[in-house]
Chains A and B, each alone.
Chain A
């Protein structure tokens, strides 16, 4: 057999094509875990006891039976007449009634545009995931100043 007969090239272009398609496929289907954060500003020391005028705030209390108590505090007198200061959302079969909470928060923000502070007051047995979800819903409704209240 002569040298000329042995000297042939393998066509690598289709191989390269398949490889590149595979790499693209793997890159696009890879799970990219991206962490982001929900930011809170907590009261430190005796900040919460200062005698200054507090801004209107919404307290969201998670009760042990899964119900949610919403309380409006430090509202101007003119606004107090327009809205109910206390309301309770009973739990559903699946736990917290997220739809009702969402619509309630949306209504409150519509009626009280100056409401920008929300405090979440969970119970000892409340799930952390539920607390985060409530803070997320508050932020979605432009209640940006969200804080967590300690137990007790």
Chain B
């Protein structure tokens, strides 16, 4: 037989012997039969391990994904609650208020929040949910309190009792 690349590069593989379940045989029989029937178990195991790792990380981060503006640097906190459902989000960026990504002028904050509360209560009533409205506030850590104050007053006047301040959990 002519000495080709294939014949010269083939070597006895312990892995193939293990997969073939036939033990070690002659070189020729391994190449002809065992290569054909051996399942690619290693690649399957690899794929499964990746899925497992992905799921492990995914389940640790069980919170609801929230969109966050790139301009905001949220404050950090140690004693915080995980976000488990979607809330109405009020974002404050450089003195501008965004209620669910819609710009709201400062003067209309109370009106818009009252409207939000009314709509949420109606929806909850249809679904027989007795939970009160909760508002998530997203603001930059460097923001002055004077920019948050109008929201507190508007929330109080609109009857929104529960405010949730978005933070990044400190490890």
Binding site for B on A (CB under 8 A): 4-5, 7-9, 12-13, 16-17, 19-20, 23-24, 27-28, 32-45, 122-129, 131-133, 135-136, 139-140, 148, 150-151
**Interface contact B146-A43, CB-CB below 8 Å:** no
**Interface contact B145-A123, CB-CB below 8 Å:** yes
A-B complex: 10 closest residue pairs judged by Cβ atoms: A129-B141, A37-B164, A36-B80, A124-B146, A139-B79, A132-B75, A136-B77, A20-B46, A128-B143, A129-B75
Min C-beta distance of B4 to chain A, whole Å: 5
**Interface contact A5-B5, CB-CB below 8 Å:** yes
- Report how far A36 CA is from B77 CA in the complex, Å: 9
Partner of A127, one of B50, B54, B78, B142: B142
**Interface contact B75-A45, CB-CB below 8 Å:** no
- Report how far A17 CA is from B164 CA in the complex, Å: 45
- Report how far A133 CA is from B4 CA in the complex, Å: 73
**Interface contact B145-A38, CB-CB below 8 Å:** no
12 example contacts (A-B, Cβ-Cβ < 8 A) are as follows A5-B6, A20-B46, A27-B53, A32-B57, A34-B82, A36-B77, A37-B165, A40-B162, A42-B152, A44-B159, A127-B143, A139-B79
Given contacts A39-B164, A42-B156, contact A128 B77 (CB under 8 A): no
Size of interface on B: residues with Cβ below 8 Å to A: 56
Min C-beta distance of B134 to chain A, whole Å: 8
Q: Which residue of B lies closest to A8 (CB)?
A: B6
- Report how far A36 CA is from B62 CA in the complex, Å: 11
The interface residues of chain B lying within 8 Å CB-to-CB of A136 are 77-80, 167
Is B106 an interface position by the 8 A CB rule? no
Partner of B162, one of A24, A35, A39: A39
Binding site for A on B (CB under 8 A): 4-6, 9, 35, 40, 42-43, 46-47, 49-50, 53-54, 57, 61, 63, 66, 68, 74-75, 77-83, 136, 139-149, 152-153, 155-157, 159-169
Min C-beta distance of B20 to chain A, whole Å: 15
Q: Which residue of B lies closest to A6 (CB)?
A: B6
- Report how far A17 CA is from B50 CA in the complex, Å: 11
- Report how far A7 CA is from B9 CA in the complex, Å: 13
Given contacts A33-B168, A37-B81, A40-B165, contact A133 B75 (CB under 8 A): yes
**Interface contact B144-A36, CB-CB below 8 Å:** no
| New contact pairs (19) apart from A20-B47, A127-B142, CB-CB < 8 Å | A4-B4, A13-B43, A16-B43, A34-B82, A36-B81, A37-B136, A38-B165, A38-B167, A40-B164, A42-B161, A44-B155, A45-B157, A122-B145, A124-B144, A129-B142, A140-B78, A148-B148, A150-B149, A150-B156
Min C-beta distance of A104 to chain B, whole Å: 17
The interface residues of chain B lying within 8 Å CB-to-CB of A131 are 145, 148
